[in-house]
Structure 1
Amino acid sequence: MEQWEYRTLKFFTKGFFSGGTLDIKEFDKELNGLGTSGWELVSCFDTNQHQGSSKEVICVFKRRK
């Protein structure tokens, strides 16, 4: 039976009134680094802050043990 390990990564957005801006360069850098280490992105979602703006972006990864 295959076994998996999981990792969760949380990114905080900037700008309360500007709608929660994500630093895309830093986001891509982190995702690519984990991909190089064998992690596969399983899910990515945001959490609400205020009137539909994003507070955090949460990414879940998995890889074989």
Structure 2
Amino acid sequence: MDQWEYKTLKYKTGGFLGGKVNEEEFEDLLNSYGIDGWELISCFDTSVHQGQSRDIIAVMKRRAYLG
């Protein structure tokens, strides 16, 4: 049976009140974890108010190597 390990990343948004995402930087971050075998399984934001995001939470998994 496959066993998995999980990682949760918190990515801070920018801007005076938050809500601005540097898409290239965020994509680079995800790609760097992907190179290490992590797969993105969920991604959501934490709201401040009126639809603005404070953080982006990314949940990743990869096969656990026992040994």
TM over 0.5: yes
Alignment partner, residue 40 of structure 2: 41
The share of aligned pairs that are identical, in percent, is 56
Alignment partner, residue 12 of structure 2: 12
Task: For residue 20 of structure 1, give the secondary structure of its aligned residue in structure 2.
Answer: coil
**Does 50-59 or 19-28 show the bigger shift?**
19-28
Q: TM-score, normalised by structure 2?
A: 0.88
Q: Which consecutive aligned stretches of 4+ in structure 1 deviate over 3 angstroms post-superposition? A: none
Task: For residue 10 of structure 1, give the secondary structure of its aligned residue in structure 2.
Answer: strand
Task: For residue 24 of structure 2, give the secondary structure of its aligned residue in structure 1.
Answer: helix
The answer for unaligned runs of 5 or more in structure 1 is none
The answer for unaligned runs of 5 or more in structure 2 is none
- Is 1:27 aligned to 2:26, yes or no? yes
1:10-53, Cα deviation, whole Å (9 max, x unpaired): 1111120xx61011121011100011111000000001011111
Which amino acid in the other structure matches residue 19 of structure 2?
A: G
Task: For residue 48 of structure 2, give the secondary structure of its aligned residue in structure 1.
Answer: strand
Matched ranges for 1:46-65 at <5 A: 46-65=45-64
Which amino acid in the other structure matches residue 13 of structure 1?
A: T
